[in-house]
Amino acid sequence: MKLLKQIQKNIPKPILENAIFSYELARTATFLTQNLSLPIFEYLLTGQNKTFTKEFPEQMQRALKDLVKLLRKDAIHISRDVYPLEVLKPEPLTQFLTRYPQIIADGVSISQRRIERKAHDFDQEAREYFREVPDYYQRNFHYQTGGYLTEKSAALYEHQVEILFAGAADAMRRLLIAPMKKHFDYSQGEGLHFLEVAAGTGRLTRFVKLAFPKARITVMDLSSPYLKVAQNRLSEFSRLNFVQGDGADLPFKTEKFDAVYSCFLFHELPLEERRKVISEGHRVLKPGGFYGLVDSIQNEDRKEFEWALSQFPVDFHEPFFKNYTQNPMDGLLLNAGFHKIDQEVGFLSKVVSGVKPLSA
């Protein structure tokens, strides 16, 4: 960690930026290769042949251009110390390599569920948690094995998401940090208390904690197995606490937090639930507090990615996604009482933020 700090401090910014960008391109190439190889494994193991439209090569070219733009932006943020180089620290290679065969094997079960359109396929381990979670949640989002309710799902989830987004998922998550740092005057987070709703396995939590090392973060998710992974991952950090609970019914007092944020949550919620999560976030925020989210782009954000927005819920079980794309998040934030609404698109995602007014 000390060495990374020295590097970040002493290497001239343009050189550092290019080195980071090159590293991120290489990382993306690894996940893109896995992304492109999965249909081959799927064909070999199940006989399912994925078909591509004639527009596909051009659409891919366009998407890759935007992905590269996002990685460049991420490299700029790191080289300018908006967040530290440490965010790029890779997991041990053996861990990465041993997980990949499990992902291929799990891909077969996912493919089977997709063919049969089977989205309520749970074993006893997952069913044990049903009484803790709302009805809409008791499904195999993405057709993934165990939904969000097993240890195996929690162990594979991040890698699967990174493959899906060809190595861009982490950089998309980090889109949130720049507006958050700006809101808090580039502080280290001294005296601040954040709430992360739907933190999952804590991937973004780690990035936010590295950017605001002195902040306290309450890390929350509906899934106990996912939260357990988050707790293990983040054990090196102090000033973190973990709460299993529903973002639409927060167990916290009014005006407790300086920031409330989430990542990749809203596209998985029914509209009414989206409204409740935002309204609860507004309630627990202090006046002047920061509300932020990273999630998928929506219909009006990027016309050229309409094909991706309509294909995603077909390939992956995402029953609320279409409605999500039709109801702009900035409008929902405005209706909930936030002001200073801002948004910025990066590849297939966007960050939307708002501030709770000082007086109602």
Ligand X SMILES: C[S@@+](CC[C@H](N)C(=O)[O-])C[C@H]1O[C@@H](n2cnc3c(N)ncnc32)[C@H](O)[C@@H]1O
Q: Is 199 in the site for ligand X (CB under 6 A)?
A: yes
Rg (C-alpha) for the chain, rounded Å, is: 20
Q: Is 208 in the site for ligand X (CB under 6 A)?
A: no
Q: Which of 261, 266, 265, 329 has the alpha carbon at shortest distance from 290?
A: 261
Question: Which is closer to ligand X, CB of 122 or CB of 148?
Answer: 148
- In whole angstroms, what is the distance from residue 251 CA to residue 261 CA? 16
Q: Report the residue from 8, 223, 296, 349 that binds ligand X according to the rule CB under 6 A.
A: 223
Q: Which of 50, 76, 267, 277 has the alpha carbon at shortest distance from 177?
A: 76
For the CB of residue 270, give the shortest distance to ligand X in the complex, in Å. 10
Q: Is 280 in the site for ligand X (CB under 6 A)?
A: no
For the CB of residue 222, give the shortest distance to ligand X in the complex, in Å. 4
**Helix, strand, or coil (residue 201):** coil
Q: Report the residue from 200, 281, 289, 354 that binds ligand X according to the rule CB under 6 A.
A: 200
According to DSSP, residue 84 is labeled: -
Q: Report the residue from 268, 280, 295, 318 that binds ligand X according to the rule CB under 6 A.
A: 268
Residues 6+ apart with CB under 8 A from 224: 129, 132, 244
Q: Is 204 in the site for ligand X (CB under 6 A)?
A: yes
Question: Which is closer to ligand X, CB of 73 or CB of 173?
Answer: 173
Q: Which residue number is nearest to ligand X in terms of Cβ?
A: 200
Q: Is 107 in the site for ligand X (CB under 6 A)?
A: no
Q: Total binding residues for ligand X by CB under 6 A?
A: 20
Q: Is 203 in the site for ligand X (CB under 6 A)?
A: yes
Q: Is 329 in the site for ligand X (CB under 6 A)?
A: no
Q: Is 263 in the site for ligand X (CB under 6 A)?
A: yes
Among residue numbers 114 through 153, which ones bind ligand X (CB under 6 A)? 137, 148
- Strands (DSSP E) contained in the chain are 193-197, 216-221, 240-244, 257-263, 285-296, 339-346, 349-355
Please check whether residue 196 is in contact with residue 218, taking contact to mean a CB–CB distance below 8 angstroms: yes
Q: Is 265 in the site for ligand X (CB under 6 A)?
A: yes
For the CB of residue 175, give the shortest distance to ligand X in the complex, in Å. 11
Q: Is 226 in the site for ligand X (CB under 6 A)?
A: yes
For the CB of residue 110, give the shortest distance to ligand X in the complex, in Å. 15
Q: Report the residue from 264, 291, 321, 324 that binds ligand X according to the rule CB under 6 A.
A: 264
Q: Is 333 in the site for ligand X (CB under 6 A)?
A: no
Question: Which is closer to ligand X, CB of 167 or CB of 247?
Answer: 247
Q: Is 356 in the site for ligand X (CB under 6 A)?
A: no
Q: Is 248 in the site for ligand X (CB under 6 A)?
A: yes
Question: Which is closer to ligand X, CB of 24 or CB of 295?
Answer: 295
Residue type at 183? H
Question: Which is closer to ligand X, CB of 46 or CB of 224?
Answer: 224
- In whole angstroms, what is the distance from residue 299 CA to residue 319 CA? 16
Which whole-number Å values give the CA distances from 229 to 92, 142, 221, 321, 323, in the listed order? Answer: 16, 20, 11, 26, 30
**Looking only at Cα atoms, what is the longest distance across the chain?**
61
Q: Which residue stretches of 234-351 are H helix?
A: 271-284, 306-315, 321-326, 329-335
The pair of structure tokens assigned to 45 is 């193991």
Residues 6+ apart with CB under 8 A from 49: 43
Burial class (CB in 10 A: 0-12, 13-18, 19+), 241: exposed
Question: Which is closer to ligand X, CB of 180 or CB of 248?
Answer: 248
Binding residues vs ligand X (CB under 6 A): 137, 148, 173, 197-200, 203-204, 221-223, 226, 246-248, 263-265, 268
